[in-house]
Structure 1
Amino acid sequence: MKERAADALYGLGWGAVKRLPEPTAHALGRRLADGAWRRHGPGVRQLEANLARVVPNAEPGRLRELSRAGMRSYLRYWMESFRLPVWPRARIAASFRPHEIERLPAIMDSGRGVIVALPHMANWDLAGAWVVTDLGIPFATVVERLSPERLFDRFVAYREALGMEVLPHAGGASFGSLARRLRRGGLVCLVADRDLSASGIGVRFFGEAARMPAGPALLALQTGAALLPVTLWYDDSPVMKGRVYPPVEPPETGTRAEKAAAMTQAMADRFAEGIAAHPQDWHMLQRFWAADLARPGPGERGRPDDPRRTAGRGSAP
């Protein structure tokens, strides 16, 4: 019943929210965010626990302010995503301003493939649609399968309509497909802060142990593609911002595993830099750090109830 309810809810979002006037949709998102924040349920409490690591000296009142801003950012993502399919190309082009974006086409013009790795910040879908429409660069991404299948199909169809090539996560099969695209000089975009497998790489993140997906670093090592960390954020304007960091280069020495570990840590460091600057735009409402995962936490959500964590945002293999 929960799965059917989730499918109906997201179907309603894509069917109804996109027809609302922009100010009405924006106000609806803020109202839903503030309502969830006032209820202070498990997801909001876990968000505050995560933010306490990002802003370690914040007083309780400051954490509550940040969590409220975080929930508004989270719902802004959803309101935008429900409306993206009807946005004209000009609107998409005007809604994202990434810094140092010239790094991406410069590398691809050289014939080298590129892996863009992002944390769960702001609106990954908008950034992806902008890359396709404004830069004219198609790309492939990976999503986890979601139950019910109909809801997974909704997310796949939504992203394909925005110009993305969507591959279901299938272990080695998806890795091989991505590697072939990268060897041909293509672009792959992966949400890569939260490890959903048993094969992640340990990192230090805001001073504590965590795990992040191995896929981005391993793909770069296997194909010679450039690994570009990217962070996204909102500010007071309607335009989302972003930053493209310099490529994470593999160490000159070490085993393949050691090189992958060093590259993943460098990627995590860039993510931490962007998240520290814009903590309210990191949409992490689940347990993330190893210490939290080792014990029951207030914010762990079941997979069927949180498609944003899987089909909703994509993932790294």
Structure 2
Amino acid sequence: MSAFSEQRQLWLYSTGWTAVQNMPERAAYRSFRAIADLSWRRRSPSVRRLELNLARVGKYEPEELRELTRLGARSYMRYWCDAFRMSEWSHERIIERVRVVNEDRFRSAMASGRGVVVALPHMGNWDWAGAWACLTGAPLATVAERLRPEKLYERFVTYREALGMTVHPLGGNGVMSDLAEHLRRGGLVCLPAERDLSRRGVPVTLFGEPTRMPAGSAMLALRTGAALLPATLAYEGREPDHSLAVTFHEEIEVPEERGDRLATMTQRIADAFETGIARNPEDWHMTQRMFLADLDADDPRRAQPVLP
């Protein structure tokens, strides 16, 4: 990306962020819904990719899949409107509009003092779920992919830190050690965990198709003895009066067999994600390639992975 392009992108994000914050709430969400519908009608590249991924979730008639994709595009744009406006939300709003399923699993794991790794797919609004955790006694550490320009990345980091999170750069030196130390102090680590098509991703099956997922969640649990909990998210209600449902799935135990524990635990994360995504597919915001079958035939990432 050229310096001019980077500055243009920064200006667009910053201007849009400020404008959305200053709009009346209903008008802001209505505008983002209109953007989603326009993108859906024009079948933008991200909408086409979303549709291909959603087609794996269930057996849909063409009209059903098309409508599901429209709802998915709306959910994704709702997330972005949330992101631009959440810094203005009160703590009461953040907490009171979260409905938690199986919260006892999360609280019991936190109370054990051994740390908790929560693995999440790109569903609903994970920033909101993270803010809820921080505001209810579980400050978390996470990672964020570096964006360009750097100032845009810094703005997103500042936004998440304002919600109470500690943010480490993805792939930075010592990140895994820092997260492990946070867990050993009894802390919470939350990691996006359903897409890693690099050759270092762990092979899993999702919706009956091969893909790869990041090793980080299971690896941290194995290294530190922390509890490993998958969680899935879904929106409820119509914006701007919407809320967020957070479901904690069963804790993933370390297999007794000393074989490939990392692969087994990562597959169990995939199984939990499959259940949550199938329940609320419209809130799965996967607008990138997800499955190995969607890679080009000569793509080297189709080859045997290089496991960590």
* SS of alignment partner, residue 97 of structure 1: strand
**What pairs up with 1:291-310 in 2 under 5 angstroms?**
291-295=293-297
User: Could you tell me the percent identity over the aligned residues?
Assistant: 52
Higher alpha-carbon deviation: 164-173 or 273-282: 164-173
- Partner of 2:92 in structure 1? 90
* SS of alignment partner, residue 194 of structure 2: coil
* SS of alignment partner, residue 227 of structure 1: strand
TM-score by length of 2: 0.92
Map Cα deviations across residues 4-61 of structure 1 (whole Å, 9 max, x no partner).
3322222123212112221111101111111111110111111111111112x21111
- Partner of 1:148 in structure 2? 149
- Partner of 2:45 in structure 1? 42
Q: 1:10 to 1:276 in 2, by over 3 A?
A: same
1:249 pairs with 2:253: yes
User: For the residues of structure 1 that align with 2:228 and 2:173, how far apart are their CA atoms?
Assistant: 19
Map Cα deviations across residues 96-154 of structure 1 (whole Å, 9 max, x no partner).
11111122222121211000110000101111111111x12111001121211111111
1:63 equivalent among 58, 62, 65: 65
- Partner of 2:304 in structure 1? none
- Partner of 1:300 in structure 2? none
Amino acid at match of 2:33: R
1:11 pairs with 2:18: no
1:102 equivalent among 101, 104, 111: 104
Deviation of 1:197 (Å): 4.3
Map Cα deviations across residues 264-294 of structure 1 (whole Å, 9 max, x no partner).
0000000010001111100011111011123
* SS of alignment partner, residue 189 of structure 1: strand
* SS of alignment partner, residue 269 of structure 1: helix
Amino acid at match of 2:14: G
Q: Is the 8 A contact 2:197 2:290 kept in 1?
A: no
The structure showing larger relative contact order (alpha-carbon pairs under 8 Å, at least 6 residues apart) is 1
* SS of alignment partner, residue 78 of structure 1: helix
**What pairs up with 1:23-34 in 2 under 5 angstroms?**
23-34=26-37
2:291 equivalent among 289, 292, 313: 289
**What pairs up with 1:1-317 in 2 under 5 angstroms?**
1-55=4-58, 57-133=59-135, 135-170=136-171, 173-195=174-196, 197-237=198-238, 238-255=242-259, 258-295=260-297
TM-score by length of 1: 0.89
Deviation of 1:232 (Å): 0.3
Q: List gaps (5 residues or longer) in structure 2.
A: 300-307
Amino acid at match of 1:101: E
User: For the residues of structure 1 that align with 2:118 and 2:32, how far apart are their CA atoms?
Assistant: 29
User: For the residues of structure 2 that align with 1:250 and 1:172, how far apart are their CA atoms?
Assistant: 27
Q: List gaps (5 residues or longer) in structure 1.
A: 298-316
Amino acid at match of 2:147: L
User: For the residues of structure 2 that align with 1:296 and 1:276, how far apart are their CA atoms?
Assistant: 31
- Residue correspondences, number: 294
Q: 1:240 to 1:247 in 2, by over 3 A?
A: same
Deviation of 1:171 (Å): 5.2
* SS of alignment partner, residue 190 of structure 1: strand
Amino acid at match of 1:7: L
* SS of alignment partner, residue 102 of structure 1: helix
User: For the residues of structure 2 that align with 1:11 and 1:160, how far apart are their CA atoms?
Assistant: 18
Q: Is the 8 A contact 2:119 2:193 kept in 1?
A: yes
User: For the residues of structure 1 that align with 2:279 and 2:199, how far apart are their CA atoms?
Assistant: 30
Map Cα deviations across residues 54-73 of structure 1 (whole Å, 9 max, x no partner).
12x21111111011000000
